[in-house]
Amino acid sequence: MRRIVGWTLAAVLAAGSLVATGGMTSPAAALDNGLARTPQMGWNDWNSFGCNVNENLVRQTADIMVSSGMAAAGYTYVNIDDCWSTKSRNANGDLVPDPQKFPNGMKALADYVHSKGLKLGIYSSAGTTTCAGYPASLGYERRDAALWASWGIDYLKYDNCGDHQGKNGQQRYTAMRDALAATGRPILFSLCNWGQESVWTWGMQTGNSWRNTGDIQVTARPRAEPI
């Protein structure tokens, strides 16, 4: 448990994806869906655990965020990154949580995180596959958003890996923005397009936050990456 505390503290960030300004004289105005009025704060598993994410890790992290006082300080989100699903969709076309990693399913996990006064985040990509090769959401935006909403998901980190099928970033990310809105559930939308395609010109009306750069790498210390 002590190791998890250390990893959790190392992985928690003071803010989510960086918000760019739309001009030199006026502040940026991100997606107006009532979320991220201040920078989102929380934990993401990737930099410390990579694909070794599982239900127990997420539960223990939520417990520690509360017991350490981090939740009271405003660190709200417990976010699952890549590798959470099986390697293929089911017969209905839905994403499936890996039953070995998440034996009780995502709805039960979201309920547990919510019982701690925290919020649960999930990960996908605006391409055909995630960065680790799992099924992603391009062409499945409405289906995936509805599924996440049914689980009680509160946050989506949307990466930029996989085949983009000839669509530009604004098209791909706007499709997911609209799909999330259609669910009727407030889900914070974090664009992780690595600062490509002049995202600062269209990110404001598309997401609650967006990345200005690729991953941050620090020698001899855990990598820091926006949630």
- Write out the catalytic residue numbers: 159, 215
CB count, 10 Å around CB of 132?
17
Distance between CA 205 and CA 30 in Å, rounded? 6
Where does the chain show beta strands of DSSP type E? 42-44, 77-79, 119-125, 155-159, 188-191, 209-210
Q: In Å, how far are 52, 128, 166, 203, 214 from 80, measured between CA atoms?
A: 11, 19, 28, 23, 19
Distance between CA 208 and CA 39 in Å, rounded? 9
- 27 HSE (CA, 13 A, CB side): 2
Asked if 110 contacts 80 with a C-beta cutoff of 8 angstroms, the reply is no
Q: Which amino acid is at 90?
A: N
- SS3 helix, strand, coil % of the chain, rounded to 5? 30, 15, 60
